[in-house]
Structure 1
Amino acid sequence: MSNKWSAKIMVCLKDGRRRFSELQAPLQGVTPKVLVESLRAMERDGIITRTSYPGVPPRVEYELTDLGRSLLEQVSVWCDWAEEHLDELLAAREIYERRSA
């Protein structure tokens, strides 16, 4: 989980394979460069697989590995915690910003 996009990518892949463009749409705000870097890091760590199909243009799909699927439960717990404590997190950020200004 090398960056803020990794968990979001995992959630996008929880229902199966997706192409790069199919990941970009729900991940609004991620640049193509950061998405590529995130996907490569996740592939390196064994969280996802990348399958390239020949053609013009070539088609590439990404899918969670068994290791990645085993991490989904933890990601879900983390997301539930963040949702439950969102108001507290936002309040803490506001206090911090006021002190830092």
Structure 2
Amino acid sequence: MSELNQFQKTILNAIASEQEETVQIAMCQYKDGDDIENLLYNTTYELIAGIMTLIDGYTNDNIKLDIEDRLTGDRLKEKPFIELHDRIADFIKYEKPK
């Protein structure tokens, strides 16, 4: 496996940090008898939203990313411009459906 460059290390370490923080918060909030399905929805929601916040550039002032489809050149955050961390809430759940 080839050595990661500094940019790759920075991004992957930031994602790992988001995961660690999300898991620790979930562990602190969990109580015996809590609904595991709700815990999983909430934890995955928080992690995904955290990664979207990282991509949007609000986690680290030195990181501002976009995602590009290499086949079409379409960019995820453009046409129209969106903040991923705001829009993701319209698509993923933070608790199980009632």
- Per the normalisation by structure 1, the TM-score is 0.28
Name the structure where strand makes up a greater proportion of residues: 1
